[in-house]
Structure 1
Amino acid sequence: MTTTISPPTESTSRPRLGRGAAFTLIAVIIATFLGASATPTPLYEHYQQLWGFSSLASTLVFGIYALALLATLLTAGSLSDHIGRRPVLLGALALEAVSLALFASADGLTILLIARVVQGVATGAAISALGSALIDLERTPGRGSIINSVAPTVGLAVGAVGSSLISEHLPRPTSTVYLVLLVLVVLEILGVWAAPETSGGRPGAWQSLRPTLAVPREARTMIALTAPCLIAVWALGGFYLSLGPALARNALDVHSSLIGAIMVATLTGFGAAAVLTFRKLGGRTVMLIGTTALVLGVAVTLIGAETSSAVLILVGTAVAGIGFGAGFQGTILTVMPLAENHERAGLLSTVYVIAYLANSLPALLAGYLVGKVGLVDTTRGYGALVMVLAAAALIGLLVTGERKVEAVSVSE
């Protein structure tokens, strides 16, 4: 069965956002989705006090979100290439609003897990459509890819710190932050309703829902070359978002949700700064910087955890954050230009499938191991894994050579 999609028609009575305003709106929505995903991280201590939360429970709450996101990416990741960006984004934002309402009313682990599943589905449906819309709307070539790398890291930082501050200084710490986000999402729904459609659509919408990884032939070699860097980056992010607060409290003996939020914000904030700083460099150069920074940053963080040094932990996290941002940016810069307009959402969804597998599975394993071998030994093993992956990516880039990587970017 083939579905024929007609070019979208815009209602003359519907308010219209200009191209520049729509570009900004999409960037804000990306930051909102990723910020909302980081919101529970500083609240784990509150959940522990209320419901007896364990390290395994915190990684489960994080991991089930990532797995739901992955399942959605595999089925609906390229849907916006077929039916348009706006319908997909409106549906995803509506689901995000439902998840936030569930978070705000959660009275135990079960509702929290359900909320995370709904949030994962919403984010999985939206993320490739959002990234593709940015590139569709960009006026300067490459700007969409840069914002697509910056907005998630900014969102993670703001979400973590904002959640911590709201939960510590406003009443009802486990619900107020979600109600604030709910209001923002409702406003974004209105904005998307007024935004122009950027994809005319094409046949095959039903077929696109079959679980698949859509990688254009021209991008396959580059995906293989960048995968170790991508895995290292997102595995590190998964650790900070699930067990980072516990590591900070254990190493520094500080019992405040803000310390965990500061660690997440340091990692992602320096990641965003790295994207902006290296935005004019080539993708291979950016990945070389990123993989080197990952190895050095994780090593320093581990030394800080062993010696209970707040300075070393924060410095190591900052350096690792540079690797976090540069590693992801380098992947986007080298991979996304290899896709045609109608292939962008499918390719970007594949990138995020790899990223969120790396983001969730190691974190889930780490949560299990904490109960078996302890947080300190788990952190050592996790850090070693990230450094090995980053070193493998670095060696691969050096061995491959710049000319070969450039050749892959223009032909397969």
Structure 2
Amino acid sequence: MDGDRRVWRQCSLSGAVFAVCMAGTTLPTPLYGLYQQKFGFSELIVTVVYAVYAFGVIGVLLLAGNASDAVGRRPVLLVGLACAAASAVCFLCATGLGWLYAGRLLSGLSAGLFTGAATVYVMELAPDGGASRATFVATAANMGGLGCGPLLAGILAQYAAWPLYLPFAVHLALVACSAAVLLRLAETVRERRPLSTVRPQRPGLPAQVRAVFGPAAIASFVGFALFGVFTSVSPAFLAQSLDVHNHAVSGLIVALAFFASTAGQLLVGRVGVARSLPLGCAGLLAGLALLAGALYWDLLALVVLSALVGGTGQGLAFRGALAAVAEASPADRRAAVISTLFVVAYAGISVPVIGVGVLSGPMGLEGAGLVFIACMAVLVSIAAVYLLRRPAGATRR
């Protein structure tokens, strides 16, 4: 019993380290308006600064996504924490736009290193028979950490001094504590190989996976795009259209979307993998419709409902997509196929968000948001119709 308790303590501590790193990736969300005032850039630049993060994640997933299998989990996670610390330093030293780009890129590198390695590490530290609980710890750490970032930054920016500095100083201290904790945890990779053996992972899509991959990739793309818009331009919409200038409220609304995603992923165990992807698509459609209503009628309540409903749909859809794609993939190609799914998902964070930024100039933020919602609704509707027509046969093939 004492041995299991010690093991679960290590598992929980690794989850806490995971959460700290992921919190840093969303920390600037409620602060973009302040950076706009300080440096005088447009809404387009906000979306580009935000999207740079996705390019860092995709680069790491493709070039070094399997590095922890070779050199060990802890070394990779320590490098991820170093990138997170360097990102915080960039924001602390920010005197121009270049510092923001560098900080977001480093943040993306840290998330790319943590996303796969930390998830596996949490599960490997769990005792025998604890896979389900460990999955919950990893899921809660990932999405919960993403939600805690804007919440922490919003509260500090609103109610404490130095709004553009204190959040990153606090995060830097948390990263230092996380590194100290990580050094005391056990390494789970027994047979380690030199870093030179790590090879870039080429995205792959075997023929038998394609029927399953299409709707799964579309749903993942739309879900991550919805999160991208929430975390990049929703604070500006709240301030400009709803006259909500409280940074804590902006951070809380963004955090709700990530917390709802955690709940959606946990619901997969109850509704089943087969139903989670179509239900997630329905949730995403409802979230998009609520967001459209919020933009059209300027209603804060609909923004909150959109975060809750859309976040739950994203959680259901993405976990269902991962499970469906993994089940349909041959064992020797599974990692490559899942990497391809993650690349598509993180493309959703960058490309549509930049599109919103481009359109916000001639059309305004509300008009650009409605165009984005229409495009995403068409995509997720295509995936939903396909799943309703061929929900089971495609998966079996």
Amino acid at match of 1:81: D
Query: Is 1:236 matched with 2:226?
Result: yes
TM-score (norm 1): 0.86
Does residue 206 (structure 1) correspond to residue 206 (structure 2)? The answer is no
* Structure 2 CA distance for aligned equivalents of residues 344 and 147 of structure 1: 23
Are the aligned partners of 1:44 and 1:53 in contact in 2 as well (CA < 8 Å)?
no
Structure 2 residue 247 is the aligned partner of structure 1 residue 270: no
Assess if the C-alpha contact under 8 Å between 1:149 and 1:332 holds in 2: no
The equivalent residue for 1:72 is 60
- Say if 2:374 is the partner of 1:384: yes
Verify: 1:152 aligned to 2:154, yes or no.
Answer: no
Query: What amino acid does structure 2 have at the position aligned with 1:78?
Result: N
| 1:253 match | 243
Aligned-residue offset at 1:136: 2.7
Structure 1 residues 323, 52: CA separation in 2 closer, same or farther (over 3 Å shift)?
Answer: same
CA displacement at 1:94 relative to structure 2: 1.5
Q: Give me the whole-angstrom Cα distance separating, in 2, the residues matched to 1:196 and 1:350.
A: 30
The residue that corresponds to 1:292 in the other structure is 282
CA apart distance, 1:176: 0.7
What's the counterpart of residue 347 of structure 2?
357
Q: How many residues are treated as equivalent by the alignment?
A: 391
AA in 2 matched with 1:188: S
1:34 positional shift? 2.3
1:369 pairs, out of 351, 359, 366, with 359
Does the Cα contact within 8 Å between 1:146 and 1:329 map onto a contact in 2? Answer: no
Residue pair 1:291, 1:394 contacting (<8 A) in 2 also: yes
Where is the helix percentage greater, Structure 1 or Structure 2? 2
> In the alignment, which residue of structure 1 is the partner of 2:116?
128
Pairing partner for 2:20 from 27, 32, 37:
32
Amino acid at match of 1:128: G
Measured against aligned partners, the alpha-carbon deviations of 1:269-317 in whole angstroms (never above 9, x if no partner) come to 2222222334333222111221101101211221122111222222233
Runs of 5+ in structure 2 lacking a partner? none
The 5 A counterparts of 1:335-350 are 335-336=325-326, 348-350=338-340
Once the two structures are TM-superposed, the CA of residue 54 in structure 1 deviates from its matched residue by 1.9
> Is this contact kept in 2: 1:167–1:177, CA < 8 A?
yes
Q: In structure 2, what is the Cα distance between the partners aligned to 1:336 and 1:104? A: 41
| 1:42 to partner: Cα distance | 0.3
- C-alpha change, 1:23 and 1:185, in structure 2 (3 Å) is same
Judged with a 3 Å threshold, the aligned counterparts in structure 2 of structure 1 residues 195 and 49 are, in CA distance, closer, same or farther, namely same
Structure 1: 5+ residue stretches without partners: 1-16
Instruction: Report the Cα distance in structure 1 between the residues aligned to 2:334 and 2:391, rounded to whole angstroms.
Output: 26
Deviation at 1:358, TM superposition (A): 1.0
Give distance in 1, aligned partners of 2:329 and 2:12: 23
* Distance (Å, rounded) in 2 between the aligned partners of 1:109 and 1:91: 25
Distance 1:26 1:344 in 2: 25
- When the two chains are superposed, the root-mean-square deviation of aligned CA atoms in Å is 2.7
What's 1:400 paired with? 390
More moved, 36-45 vs 222-231: 222-231
Once residues 14 and 374 of structure 2 are traced to their aligned partners in structure 1, the CA distance between those partners, rounded to angstroms, is: 36
How far off is 1:146 after superposition?
4.0
Task: Name which of structure 1's ranges 18-27 and 370-379 shifts more when overlaid on structure 2.
Answer: 18-27
Contact 1:31 1:151 in 2 (8 A): yes
1:97 to 85, 91, 95: 85
Q: Which amino acid aligns with 2:86?
A: V
> Are residues 333 and 252 of structure 1, via their aligned partners in 2, closer, same or farther at CA, if it must alter by over 3 Å?
same
